[in-house]
Amino acid sequence: MSGMDDEATERLSIGTFARLAGLSPSALRFYDDCGVLPPAEVDPVTGYRRYAPGQRERAVLLRRLRAAGLPLVAAAAVLDGSPERARAVLREWQRRTEEEARLAGEALAEVLRELPGGAPARAVLGGAELAGAVRQVAPAADPGHPLLRCVLLEPADGELRLVATDRYRLSVRAVPARVTARPWPEPLLVEAAALREVAEWVRGAEEVALEAAGADEVWVRDGERERRLPLVAGEFPAYRLVLDALEPVRHRVIADRVALGAALSQARTPVVVRTGGPAGLLVGEMAVPALVTGPGLRVAFDPVVLAGAVESAVGPDVLLELGGEGAGPVRVRSADQGGFTTLVMVVRDGS
């Protein structure tokens, strides 16, 4: 009897449970936020999460489902549904991924057929990581604005941060990088179009280096190859003030990214988004499979702007977070890349 009592009361720290389950602490926090894997206890004073040993089986299964690429909505159906429902979800996901892999293979084969046979301050990072960050952030730049057409590059200890905004959305992505301690020019503003070209150029590189070459240019180097990025003079908006002023999150919606994007592509301007109720998430009049936490909410967006933010996310699902009564911006987060966040402003729906 005492052994059973010990099992019932034993609690593990998030770090210990993460090692036991093969998940990172940040993944556990994300799954808690989404309501898929909440801890057994949360300290009301410190906010520390504590897990029961018996939760390991669910965590390991969730890790395996995520390794297979399942969206959290589908993973939740496998975790909490009947065996018949779980098998149906997994078979459909297998069919979908096999078809996507076939189409991707055909597209890559076509591209491959068309291809022809004093040290400065430096930030060294993976070429694929830089290209992915640019793909996510650059769409938020405003090509018609003299300053907001740029992406802000912020080298810091252990990371390179990319920021862009068109005043209706704000995208921020942090990428791990080895950064020297030497001073960098401030600010590092690069035209989004030029940065996109360089990102495509280095996509296949194992490592690339960004090197400051004075106050008006940065060089991107990949071994023997190099490309120049001219810097744009000006003062970028104080985006950190916007991030610091965000209200605490009260509403969370985890949705299939493709399904949400499809619903937004058919929506009118503005589109009214509703959470709660039997449908979980309504985009206009279209129901989207979603996991919803917090009270019900009605809020409106420009569907083109929100769809752009959803498209920039990575992975099969996307997390939307709002605070208060939904009057502030919505945070669009990527489950597969916690360093990426986009803010999208709400609009009036005319009702």
CA dihedral 307, 309, 310, 316 (to 10 degrees): 150
Query: What is the helix (H) or strand (E) element at residue 151, kind and residue range?
Result: strand 150-156
Q: What is the pLDDT of residues 102-152, one digit of tens each?
A: 888 878 866 765 565 455 688 999 999 999 999 999 999 999 998 999 999
Neighbour-count burial for 165-192, b at 16+ CB within 10 Å, e otherwise: bbebbbbbbbbebebeeeebbebbbbbb
pLDDT at 1 over 60: no
- What distance in Å separates the CA atoms of residue 200 and residue 22, rounded to the nearest whole number? 33
Q: What is the pLDDT of residues 210-228, one digit of tens each?
A: 988 667 888 898 888 889 8
- Under 8 Å between Cβ of 202 and 222: yes
- What distance in Å separates the CA atoms of residue 167 and residue 302, rounded to the nearest whole number? 13
- What distance in Å separates the CA atoms of residue 128 and residue 136, rounded to the nearest whole number? 12
The pLDDT score that the predictor gives to residue 115 is 62
Q: What is the pLDDT of residues 70-95, one digit of tens each?
A: 999 999 999 999 999 999 999 999 99
- What distance in Å separates the CA atoms of residue 347 and residue 307, rounded to the nearest whole number? 14
**Whole-structure pTM value:** 0.62
State the DSSP code for 326.
Answer: S
- What distance in Å separates the CA atoms of residue 33 and residue 26, rounded to the nearest whole number? 11
The pLDDT score that the predictor gives to residue 281 is 85
CA angle (35 as vertex; 336, 91 as ends), nearest 5: 65
pLDDT at 270 over 90: no
- What distance in Å separates the CA atoms of residue 249 and residue 6, rounded to the nearest whole number? 35
